[in-house]
Amino acid sequence: MTTIDIFRDTAYGGRVDAAEQKRRDKQLAADTIADVRNYLGDRELHGWPNLIQDAAGGAGSLKKIGTGTLTLTGANTYTGETIIAGGSIIVGHANALKNSTVSINVNYYGLDVTTNTIDATIGALGGSGNLNLGSQTLTTGGNDASTTYSGGLSGTGPLTKIGVGTLTLSGNNTYTGGTTLRDGALSLGHTSALGTGTLTVAPTITWTENFDSTPGDWTFNGTAVINGGSVRLTQTVRL
């Protein structure tokens, strides 16, 4: 993985081209624009705050390390993984991460969808770091990957699952905006996996552990599968 270090004393505004791989180990000044115009190879960013403004494509991965903040403001199409191992990534466009599996591997809120109040779409959600939805809608699953997210979802915004993959929620979530399963499957591995909002299901939902329906009303238009667990329904269930 190519490393791009971000320091205060240098600037870089050139093109990052995964096909050529000619510019490596470049130093970026704080708060400058990294002009990513073509394809994103495997890139590792760390250091001071910076901004990727233009759209990036390709199959490469992006890894954010260090304490800095990376802002993505383009409608990116790259399909590789986005790994947040340090600092944070601010979503500055609704489709900045639409095809990428985002793995949050920091103990705080490494993915920021609240600063720009954007209803964001990401390819898939994984990792163990916390995520504050704010009041925004987060749509995940469009790249059809199956992932496990064990972090904590908070905020008042809703979560929408699309794509044919399976999203496993195994963390203690407190978000109140509700959950909509439009495609694929949800696997619930924690009694508070769905927070306290309304659950609306079109396809299949699977319980892997005992589950107590302490959230709000549930609406089922598909299939509920109990796989090694039990379900106790205490709220309104519409079948």
**Tens-digit pLDDT profile for residues 28-48:** 333 333 333 333 444 444 444
What backbone phi and psi angles, to 5 degrees, belong to 209?
A: -140, 170
pLDDT of residue 72: 85
Residue 71 has pLDDT above 80, yes or no: yes
Give the model's confidence band at 135: pLDDT under 50 very low, under 70 low, under 90 confident, else very high. Answer: very high
Contact assessment for residue 126 and residue 146, using Cβ atoms and an 8 Å cutoff: no
- For residue 212, pLDDT over 60 is answered with no
Cα–Cα dist 187/201, whole Å: 12
Query: Among 22-26, 82-86, 235-239, which range has the highest average pLDDT?
Result: 82-86
| Average model confidence (pLDDT) across the chain | 72
Whether the pLDDT of residue 217 is over 70: the answer is: no
Q: Please give the Cα distance from 149 to 167 (Å, whole number).
A: 7
Cα-based distances in Å from 76 to 39, 72, 151: 10, 8, 25
Residue with more model confidence, 150 or 235: 150
Question: What amino acid is encoded at 149 in this protein?
Answer: Y
